Structure 1
Amino acid sequence: MVVHHHRRGLYTGANSGEIMVVQWLRTSIFLVAATCFVVEATTRPDRQPSTANDILARYPGQDDYISPTRIVWAAVGSPADLFCNLTSPIPGDPALLVLWYKNGIHKPIYSYDARNRPASHWQNPSHFQDRADFSVDSDTLKLKQAQAEDQGTYRCRVDFRTNPTLTFTTNLTVIVPPRRLTVYTDMNVEARRSVGPYLEGETLRLTCKAFGGSPPPRVTWWEGSLLVDMTPEVETLDEVSNTLVLPPLSRRDLNRALTCHAQNSNLTEPLTTTLILDMNFPPLWARFERILESLSANVAYSIVCESAGSRPPPLITWRLQDTILTTHTETTSHEGNLTTSELKWTPTVGDVGKVLSCQAESEKIAYPPLIVEWHLDIHYTPITILKPGKSLNLSNIEEGDDVYFECSIQANPWVYKIIWLHELRELHHNVSAGVIISNQSLVLQRVTRAATGNYYCVASNVEGDGKSNPILLRVKSYTSVLTSHNIYVVFVIAFAQGVEYIMPYPLMCMMKVDTKIHRLGSRSTVSYTPNTELDYGTLLCWGTNSVGLQRHPCVFHVFPAGRPDPVHNCSGFNLSETVVNVRCVAGFDGRLPQTFVLELYEPHTNILVANATSTVPRFAVGGLQHGMTFTAVLYSSNGKGRGEMVSFKVYTLKDVAEKRTGEYKVDFTAKSTTQKITIS
């Protein structure tokens, strides 16, 4: 290392180690001396009369006296005091004239003249520019704001009335702090506020350069209050630099604060710049927050993957085998050390045995990614497929044939139960009934027409019940049984009126009467008109198909229609002031829809007061006068005519407070007008 100094030849022939030691000692002595002399310069000297006597005793026979040089230090912009003793060795001998000189300037720069009263002050305007003022009380020339050009040696000449002239010498040193401090990286790029990012294992080199300053500043590196590097590498007239070299960096160096100081005196604040060390790291680890033993298909899950140690936060990638999943979100902790990725995912049956992986990698560092894997165990409801036996022709199954079904099952975990359904009715193993169930197969022996319908197999595990596709079994049979609930009969109203029967099955219907038969697909319709009472009775219908003739015919009973029977068991209920409520039991309707009519008459005049019609024998007639007795006439009618009328008495209440009473019952016979009313 070569050290340059503004004093040429000072270190000629010295090695680099000696130069650094000498430079450090010189700078340290300089700062200590500056501190000591500042204390002396800022302390007001006492005016002791013995000083002049000591001076004359020290230099006998001399007319003039020149004192030793006094050293004064001052920072730029701060005040400076230049001392000058105005005390004469001869008592009562006042100082009449004080003149201040500066080396290099032959004329006085400041004067204090006490020869005339009042005393006058004068200063050279081109030198101090009104910044200087001589104080007689403190015997000092005070500079208000010292400037760099004020540095030099000053002489104060004091002329007394009697005593010879005294001269006092002061050397003023003005300290100029460095004007700029800059830090450069090893790429010679200026660093501000932060430096980096660096990687683990790299070496940090930072060069701090201080420009300007008189005397040359001392450049050091600090970490907080700890001195890291105090040795400057380069020193010139206008530049001092110090290069900091840190060993291979580790994670502990992240956000490390390094401060460069530049200072040339304790009189000034150091010039500093602080840098924060930024670093990038690969992730340390990645893991699933929780791994379940198994997952259920078609159930939504939130799966969390965590990664720590990466800076900046890592890039998280989810994969299912080779397929990238995108339904995830990431969050980073406040310190930025932990990154959490939450995947919203619904597994399916097709994911059984696949691998779900979470990958964490740094986007800034070429470093192998960290991958964690989850071998999936997917549970799902059994998938069942029902198939007929391989040699079975479902389109040609006749009574007496054997039928065989197979149930194919895919399940995880395996099923614990398999059941068979015929039209949603569970089948049980019954050899005597021809039902044989063996594991995943069903055998129906000697099937009959009752075996026609849809068949299913249902397999169950802990996830649920899996129902198969239906298989429709059609058994061809000689017999066709039609019950009354699938036959629609319109009863005749009178002779010579037609009756129509709709028979949905079989394909052909043969009637043993002279009628009109219409066939449409699997429906057969007969139009039959009874002409006399002898034509009523029973109709028989046989059907035929590819198997043969129906063994048991369909039977239809035809009855003649008539007028309805009279109502009976009538009663009034919930009596009130203005409403009459009546209910009866309907008689036989004559096999035709019937309608019920209620008429109310005034008993003395037989004037119709109100009437009502209903499809059921229950009435509520309102708007009547209170305290009245009415004759009620009730009858029913249908398409054949009106039935017998039934009459009885009904009442409305007299007293307003008596809103409700019990039920009364009317005992009567057909066409009877005598009623027996029971009040309960």
Structure 2
Amino acid sequence: YDARNRPASHWQNPSHFQDRAVFNVETDTLMLKQSKAEDQGTYRCRVDFRTNPTLTFTTNLTVIVPPRRLTVYTDMNVEARRSVGPYLEGETLRLTCKAYGGSPPPRVTWWEGALLLDMTPEVETLDEVANTLVVPSLSRRDLNRALTCHAQNSNLTEPLTTTLTLDMNFPPLWVRFERTFEALSANVAYSIVCESAGSRPPPLVTWRLHDTILTTHTETTSHEGNLTTSELKWTPTVGDVGKVLSCQAESEKIAYPPLIVEWHLDIYCEYAITILKPGKSLNLSNIEEGDDVYFECSIQANPWVYKIIWLHELRELHHNVSAGVIISNQSLVLQRVTRAATGNYFCVASNVEGDGKSNPILLRVKYSPVCRNEQMTYHGAARYEQVNIPCELDAFPEPHSFRWTFNNSGESVEIPQTKIHRLGSRSTVSYTPNTELDYGTLLCWGTNSVGLQRHPCVFHVFPAGRPDPVHNCSGFNLSETVVNVRCVAGFDGGLPQTFVLELYEPHTNVLVANATSMVPRFVVGGLQHGMTFTAVVYSSNGKGRGEMVSFKVYTLKDVAEKRTAAVKPPPTRGSNSEQLQAGGIIAVVLGALGGLLVVAILICAVVRVRHLRREERRRRGCGRAGVRDTVVSGQDDGGGACQAKTTATGAVKEFPPPPASPRDADEKNPDVIPLSENAKFPPFRFDPNIILFIVIPVILPFFPHPL
């Protein structure tokens, strides 16, 4: 730069830096763009002054060139990328890292994470620097070990790196059964699991039963690949007793002896075989109440049973001498059996294989007839009415004959066989009461091969009639379309009764709905909302209908309908519209006249009420004050005076107390604010706003729309 003549002039040699060199006059600095290796050297800056001596500045520029490439080689001089191996346990790892190029020559080092492993290069030339890493006797801990080679010749630049992962193969460490059994059951499917760990890659698993290879197995490997599980689906048989089941694991990549685990099988037979037999001298077809019965249970089992139980149907029997149940080893004794002992008997023998249930033996205990439960014992009948009364018995064998008698307070009469009908264990008698003495008790006996029924079945015949009316009827759970009614039933008259509900429209007495029930409770739906109905409830039996009970029930109004504004259709045009308009005018006139009439009536009523109130207060004031000799003026609302009246002899005439008025009752009401004695009412003045705010809103809904 020459600054002697303004402006300053600049000169440069274009063949040396071309346009990569720029001199900044303000800071007196020289800037080199995209520096190159040949830019390295000594730079001299000379400054010439007009009067002062010349100044010279010298600067040494060093250009650092990073290495071009970094490569790792194995001991077989094969380039390694990302991973190296696989290696086996005990082998030695040798890796050579070479850095090419770089000025000054780079420093090549080996790292494992932040740990420096090797920093001594074996070869160092101007164009190549090499460092060899040696790891002797590899072990399982070296698997997936990450080794990194660094090449760097200056702290000003990022190092050139390459990372390798160490891959290794291992034989299995162990093999075992996940679970072993003391014994297996024949003809039962099992899932047997064999596990092997430590092999890389996963091992080859082989199952053998003695000399036979089994193929019904599947293998799975854990997520880390360290554990291999093989599951064998196998069903042992009795012929497998004493054989050896083995699981073998071996590595396909390593010539290493396989690992084998063996299981000496112990096969159990199926559950115990049980056979139930009656006692040798026992005749099961002729067992009556009071006899003794015994059974024997024959058992074949391997291993032997540890428990024997006895079942009557599905109920377990327990040893109880007082109840007549004796259990001893493989025998059961029932003493003094009753009809409750009838049913199937089993013996169940249990061993480690399960429960063996025997064949059933049916025991039928013969017994004389008894009355069957849950039969109707009360029967109502009118005079000269025939009723059929059934008598049902429990017996084994079935009864072959029946006997009926009639008892009352005075006699006992045998019912002839012509009135008795028999069907199996059921007998029905046809009985007709003709007089009051024919009402009483019927007794029924049955007879079978065991004997006569000990206790007869008892049936009571009484006069029957119509049922009593229901009472306490009411509606509940009100809704818009459903009516719920409940009542309390009366006496049924001795016969089953049925209840009926009928709903009527109260004005036309038209039947709207009805319902029938066996209990006095009804639910009727599908009704109109906001309606009042007359409900009629009565009961009936075979003798007729009882008295009716009526009451009111309701359905609620539809809230949604009340909130919906009614929309009237627009009037039709033509002759009809003119008639409607004329009718509307007439309605307006009539409505106005009616409104004026109502206003007049209201005004008269108000004036009359206020006049009566003033008279009432005047009379009350006079009664309280008594008789006065002077005229008191200005003490009442009307401006009059209370004056005492005397008789001819000068005695004071007593006035009776005023009669009680509705207003006095209101003043005694604690919820009403009492009226003050001195309260004054202003004179009534007609206010036109009464018509605007009271009368018009009252009569407006009666007017048609034209208003």
- TM-score under structure 2 normalisation? 0.41
Q: Which has the higher helix share?
A: 2
**Which structure ranks higher in relative contact order (CA pairs < 8 Å, sequence separation ≥ 6)?**
1
Q: Which has the higher strand share?
A: 1
